[in-house]
Amino acid sequence: MKYVLAGSSGFLGKALARDLMSDGHEVVRLVRRAPSRPDEVRWDPAAGQLDPAALADADVLVNLAGANIGRPWTPAYRKTIRESRVSTTATLASAAAALDHRPVFITQSGIGGYGKDCGDRILTEESELGEGFLSDVVRLWEGAAEPARAAGCRVASLRTGVVIDRDAPAFQLMSLPFRLGFGGRLGSGKQYFPVVSLTDWLRAVRFVAEHDEISGPVNVDLPTPVTNQDYTTALGKALHRPTLIPVPSFVLTTLLGEFAWELIGSKRALPAKLLDAGFTFTHPTAEAALAATLT
């Protein structure tokens, strides 16, 4: 199959490109600079510019572009977070709508869209989005794909949890205190903390691309939801480090502002669409995902 990939310079983009090419798929990378390789095509999502010819014969379009959310959300950076996701999705969707054929359009999204703190409530793709900055971003982000959907493309939005892998920036940052012996639960530890292994995230992208019955939002996280306390225990065990130093919620909210709710807010999300379509997880538990990452 021919995949056109936006966001190929990021961790997930690089991993997906490697995975696809290892199985013989063709990958075209959209870049914002002058192309330096035959498989690169220049685009300007901020200006809404992408020649539809660049998508010729594409079977799947994948948008993984978006500014890092793991830094202070100043008013200016909130705009960057929002526009980096919406402009890329909208530009790809408009280009897809102009094609004679109808590629599958897969865009990254976030489980944070369900709201700051959902408690013990089970969240499936049928659950409503919540309130707050990231919820608003997710609404706009997923809505920006509407031109492609209206033109007849099958559109799927991957509401992904934290991806666990040794090289994943988020995982490296979160595991550093544990490696130094200062690890502990975040807040009460009772909050559900959606995660997924890189292996299963890669498999999920390809599964969605290849299964015509899957469209709309798709949760991509463990089929066995894990609390932060259980995840903390599993990570400490995997690293052979103590987990005795909890971080109070007020410390996180003071240091991180609203972003702290991505760590202390509960999201008991289930990957219902994937499971209903027959997807099986290679690493269905936090213990399995961490073991695969750290061994």
Q: CA-CA distance, 94 to 265, in Å (whole number)?
A: 35
Q: CA-CA distance, 154 to 63, in Å (whole number)?
A: 14
- Domain residue spans of the chain: 2-294
Is residue 221 helix, strand or coil? coil
Q: How do the pLDDT tens digits run along the chain, 295 residues long?
A: 999 999 999 999 999 999 999 999 999 999 999 998 999 999 999 999 999 888 989 999 999 999 998 888 899 999 999 999 999 999 999 999 999 999 999 999 999 999 999 999 999 999 999 999 999 999 999 999 999 999 999 999 999 999 999 999 889 988 999 999 999 999 999 999 999 999 999 999 999 999 999 999 999 999 999 999 999 999 999 999 999 999 999 999 998 888 889 999 999 999 999 999 999 999 999 999 999 998 7
CA dihedral 205, 211, 217, 218 (to 10 degrees): -50
Rg (CA), the chain: 19
Model confidence, pTM: 0.95
Choosing among 3.40.50.720, 3.40.50.10320, 3.40.190.290, 3.40.50.300, the CATH entry for 2-294 is 3.40.50.720
